[in-house]
Every structure is written in C-alpha cells, then in structure tokens.
C-alpha cells in the first residue's frame, strides 16, 4: 500500500492515463475517483524518480517501486519551498496563518501552487519531521511544568542518605527549551518559588502554564473547572499569567513535560548516579550546568538546538517580567472570634470589631500578617511568634474598650478620686495587686463603670462599707451593690489606707 491508501494497480492506472493517454490531472481524478492533489504528488514523484514508461519489469514490485519513488521528494525538494522557515513563521506569531503566508508568496510571484496544494505540501513535509517539530505550539504560549518521578538522594558528611530532593521541570511548548531545579519538597512554597526562579531563568513569562493536578497547585481537580490553590493563583496573578491543569488520566495534555522528564531521567539523572551531594545549592549548581549543555545540544534529525529555537521563537514572544520579583506569602482562612481577633500560629491579631464571626483571608510571611475581607485589606500586623499572646490595635476596638485601652494608671487614680476617697483607695489597691499596669487599667476601668449604673455616691458608700468589712476586690463590691446591702450613706471610713487582704489579717 502506497501513501494515502493508493495501491499498486491504482498507481499504474494513473501512470497509464497520464503517459499513454495524455490526460490532465483533473481528468484522471474524475475517471479514477482519486483526489487531484494525490494524483499530482504521484506524477511528481514519478517524474523525479527518472523511471521510464512503461515501467521496467523489476519495478512492477510494490516495495521496490515505493522505494524508488521516495515520497519525501513531493514536499520540500520538489516544491522548492523552504518549509522550515514557513514552520518557524507560523510558530513565532499567533496572527500568522498558512493562508497569509501563501498570499505573501503569491504577491512576490514565488508561489506556483493553489492554496489547497500548498497546504497539502506543508502537511506532508511536517509529517516527515521529528516529533519536536510536529507539535503545534505557538511561540511564548504554553509552558508545561511537573515534578520528575525520580528523586536525587542527599547525604550527610558520613555518606548516609538523609533525604531525597524533588526535581521540578518546565518545558516550553514551542522550542522544547527546558528548566529544572531540585527542591526539598513538593509543598506549595517550593512549588510556587520554583516557578519564580524559572521565569527569571527564562527572562520572561508564558501566556499559560500546563500543570499536573498536584495538591500544591490544584485544590479541587475537575475535568472542566479545576480550582487553583490561592497561593499559586496569587503568584500567577503577579506575573499576569494563568494555569490550566491537565485532565486527570490524560497524559497527552502534558506530553511536552513527559518528554522532558525522559531527557532528565535518561541523560541528566544518569550523570548524577555516582555523585553525592550534601545540600541543594551544590546539586542545583551542577544541574544548571547540565541543563545548559542539554539545551545547547543539536536535536536529532533537526539542524537546531533548543537554545537556538528558544532565542528565535519563544524568547521574543514571552511576556515581560514585572518590575519586582514575587515575594511568597502563605495563605489560610480564619474566622474572627468574639474578641475580634484571629489566630495564626498560636498568636492572636486584632481586626475591626464589626467583623466578629466573619471569615477572613489571611496572607502572611515571616514578617507580616495581612487580613482581607471581600478582597479588601482590613488589617496589617507585624508577625509575632509569642504563643498565646495578642497583638491589638486600638482602632479595632469598640469605643468602650478603647477608653480603657488608652487609660494610664494615673488617669485611673484621678477618675477614682473624683468619685471619692474610698473609691480611690480601692482603685489604688487594684493597680497595686495587678501583675501588669495594662491589666490593672483594664480592671480599674471595669470597676469604675459601676458608677454609671449605681451613681457616684452609691459606689463611694459601697467602697467605704467594703473596706470596713475587709472586702477589696471588684467582684465582691459589685455583689454588695447588686444585693443592696448599703443602707447608710453616711458611714465613716474606718481605714485610711488599703494594702490588701493580708494586711488586715495580720
């Protein structure tokens, strides 16, 4: 069977009608039911082969005749067109089409074929090229990323394996130019920052990233609408690009990176098998040397290197890097507690009190914590690692809380003495007994609020009564007021000073 399903008898009939009957290609097509393009190709091959007509007996054998005709003559050699350059033109610009190139050739009087035949010649030429050329990827469009299944061991000084490094790999769809590096894990931090370093290495950003469905990049796999993890999405937004996870169990979606992994495993990792690395820095330094060598090697059956194709096709089409490099931020969701604080790493950070019970997006680094609600940043704090402590901004508090938060011990004493001497003594005692001035101020503020509920005179008499019976704390004085045990508003203060319960017991 010859190409395009033409058998030996059909080919001989085409040649007979052409050579003996002198029929045109169109007439032969009508009589034989074979397309005019196919007939043209075979007549062209016959002419190029130098065979006489009728065919010599030894060429009535299908295998011998097919070798003599050499189907590859019909495309590039016979047409006289530079299909390699045409192919590069198509890949280097999204707006360039085969029809546009055909029209340009026609305007320069360099096109002798119809568009249909020209397109057929191009497809036939492309079919003879290696797979690296047949991929229909536009320049600067897609970059395929994944991790290699194979890992590289890391050793301690004694030569014992202590961990295994993951190998991140990225391959550009058009030029097959690739990048790889070693990381400790496949976690979100390593995944995101590997992309950042890859973009810096390439000197630009592709329009789209084709990824696998690993958890660091995809929170919810879906054939049509997969969910990208927030941290990965933020990095992609910073570089004005996007990610399209490959469909599950569809390796063809990421065939580029799969071929890159094969190169990594068969050529690069093979060179590492006898070497021992103790840290990622040395490993990545050596990997970079091997990557540069691999990118500058001539491709099999193709007169270019990946680096040359990258410089000619992908590099000019990549988007520019942003003005500043991406700084990684961790992400979590947090619900605001009734004390208008969110928890992060055992520390508590305040947010506006009106957001109690709301769910916030928390972005954080080792130095900064940012809280977002409905896409708006509503609070920023310096990162703290003090466990079970809180960082509180006064403006986040309700107005009553702000008053005691801004209160000083001197102010508390002044307010208490304005009510009366006994009240002043109780507040002074509260401040002295407190473990910290801030705690004393808060307790004093709560105590002085009783004056608003019961009045200054009642509070003062309650304090006199409490001191006389040996009660000195906020809680018990409040109980006295609630039970209305104060009957004499003119009771004298028997003690001129208060030093706590132990003082009166001695």
Question: Containing domain of residue 67, as a range?
Answer: 3-74
Helix (H/G/I), strand (E/B), else coil: 359? strand
Assigned domain for 134 exists: no
Residues 180 and 294 in one domain: yes
| pLDDT score recorded for residue 278 | 92
CB-side neighbour CA atoms (13 Å) of 380: 5
- Choose the final residue of a domain: 368, 397, 426: 397
Asked if pLDDT for residue 68 goes beyond 80, the answer is no
Does one domain contain both 441 and 302? no
Claim to verify: residue 392 and residue 418 sit in the same structural domain = no
Whether residues 291 and 147 fall in one domain: yes
d(CA 405, CA 442): 7
Quick one: 116 and 255 in the same domain? no
In a domain, 306, yes or no: yes
Mean pLDDT of 125-139: 63
Give yes or no for residue 424 having a pLDDT over 50: yes
How sure is the predictor about 159, in pLDDT bands with cuts at 50, 70 and 90? confident
Q: How far apart are CA 214 and CA 243, in angstroms?
A: 13
Look-up: residue for tokens 């954080």?
364
Copy the structure tokens of residue 152.
């590289």
Q: How many CB atoms lie within 10 A of CB 401?
A: 17
Q: Predicted confidence band at 255 (pLDDT cuts at 50, 70, 90)?
A: low
Please identify, among 317, 340, 355, the residue that sits at the C-terminal boundary of a domain.
Answer: 317
Residue 219, domain member (yes or no): yes
Q: Is residue 325 part of a domain?
A: no
Round to whole Å and give the CA distance between 318 and 200: 12
User: 489 with 461: CB under 8 angstroms?
Assistant: yes
How many residues comprise the chain? 506
Predicted local confidence at residue 282, as pLDDT: 94
CB 67 within 8 A of CB 38: no
Cβ atoms within 10 Å of 174's Cβ, excluding its own: 25
Same domain, 152 and 267: yes
Task: State how far the Cα of 394 lies from the Cα of 406, in Å rounded to an integer.
Answer: 8
Report for 87-96, 205-214, 262-271: range of highest mean pLDDT: 205-214
In a domain, 253, yes or no: yes
pLDDT tens profile 428-455: 988 888 777 767 787 888 888 888 888 8
323 located within any domain: no
CATH number at residue 173: 3.30.420.10
Does residue 109 lie in a domain region? yes
Residue 324 lies in a domain: no
Statement: the pTM of the whole predicted model exceeds 0.75? no
- Do 236 and 360 share a structural domain? no
Q: What pLDDT, on the 0 to 100 scale, is given for residue 31? A: 82
Give 322-376 pLDDT, tens digit per residue. Answer: 999 898 888 899 999 888 899 999 999 999 999 999 999 999 988 899 999 998 9
Q: What is the pLDDT of residue 505?
A: 41
Shared-domain flag, residues 351 and 439: no
Mean pLDDT across 9-15:
83
In this structure, the answer to whether residues 154 and 32 fall within a common structural domain is: no
Do 291 and 414 belong together in one domain? no
Last residue of a domain, one of 74, 102, 118: 74
Nearest to 462 by CA among 444, 488, 443, 440: 488
- Considering the domain architecture, whether residues 70 and 81 belong to the same structural domain is answered as no
CA distance 293 to 304: 14
Query: Which pLDDT band, with edges at 50, 70 and 90, does 404 fall under?
Result: low
Q: Are residues 390 and 472 in the same domain?
A: no
Please state the domain count of the chain. Answer: 5
Between CA 219 and CA 132 the distance in angstroms is: 32
């Amino acid at each position: 069977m010859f190409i395009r399903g033409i058998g030996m008898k059909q080919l001989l009939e085409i040649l007979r009608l052409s050579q003996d009957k002198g029929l045109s290609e169109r007439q032969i097509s009508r009589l034989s039911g074979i397309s005019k393009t196919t007939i043209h190709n075979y007549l062209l091959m016959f002419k190029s082969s130098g065979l006489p007509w009728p065919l010599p007996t030894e060429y009535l054998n299908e295998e011998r005749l097919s070798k003599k005709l050499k189907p590859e003559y019909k495309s590039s050699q016979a047409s006289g067109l530079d299909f390699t350059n045409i192919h590069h033109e198509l890949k280097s610009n999204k707006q360039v089409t085969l029809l546009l190139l055909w029209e340009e050739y026609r305007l320069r009087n360099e096109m002798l074929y119809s568009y249909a035949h020209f397109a057929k010649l191009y497809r036939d030429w492309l079919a003879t090229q290696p797979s690296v050329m047949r991929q229909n990827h536009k320049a600067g469009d897609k970059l395929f990323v994944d991790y290699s299944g194979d890992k590289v061991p890391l050793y301690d000084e004694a030569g014992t394996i202590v961990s295994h490094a993951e190998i991140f790999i990225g391959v550009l769809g058009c030029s097959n130019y690739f990048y790889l590096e070693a990381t400790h894990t496949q976690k979100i931090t390593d995944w995101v920052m590997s992309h950042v370093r890859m973009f810096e290495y390439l000197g630009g950003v592709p329009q789209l990233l084709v990824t696998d469905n690993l958890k660091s990049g995809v929170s919810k796999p879906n054939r049509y609408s997969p969910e990208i993890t927030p941290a990965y999405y933020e990095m992609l937004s910073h570089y004005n690009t996007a990610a399209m996870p490959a469909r599950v169990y569809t390796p063809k979606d990421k065939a580029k990176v799969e071929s890159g992994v094969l190169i990594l495993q068969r050529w690069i990792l093979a060179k590492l098998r006898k070497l021992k690395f103790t840290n990622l820095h040395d490993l990545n330094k050596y990997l970079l040397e091997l990557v540069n060598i691999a990118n500058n090697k001539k491709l099999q059956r193709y007169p270019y290197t990946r680096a040359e194709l990258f410089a000619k096709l992908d590099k000019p089409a990549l988007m520019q890097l942003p003005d500043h490099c991406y700084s990684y931020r961790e992400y979590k969701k947090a619900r605001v507690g009734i004390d208008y604080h969110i928890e992060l790493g055992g520390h508590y950070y305040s947010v506006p009190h009106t957001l109690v019970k709301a769910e916030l997006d928390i972005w954080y680094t080792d130095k900064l914590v940012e809280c977002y609600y409905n896409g708006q940043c509503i609070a920023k704090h310096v990162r703290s690692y003090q466990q079970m402590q809180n960082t509180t901004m006064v403006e986040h508090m309700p107005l009553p809380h702000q008053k005691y938060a801004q209160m000083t011990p001197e102010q508390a004493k002044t307010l208490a003495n304005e009510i009366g001497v006994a009240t002043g003594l109780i507040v002074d005692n509260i401040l002295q007994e407190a473990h910290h001035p801030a705690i004393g101020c808060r307790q004093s503020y709560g105590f002085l609020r009783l004056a608003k509920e019961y009045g200054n005179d009642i509070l003062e008499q309650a304090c006199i009564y409490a001191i006389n019976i040996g009660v000195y704390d906020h809680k018990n004085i409040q109980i006295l007021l609630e039970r209305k045990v104060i009957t004499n508003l003119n009771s004298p203060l028997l003690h001129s000073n208060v030093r706590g319960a132990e003082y009166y017991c001695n």
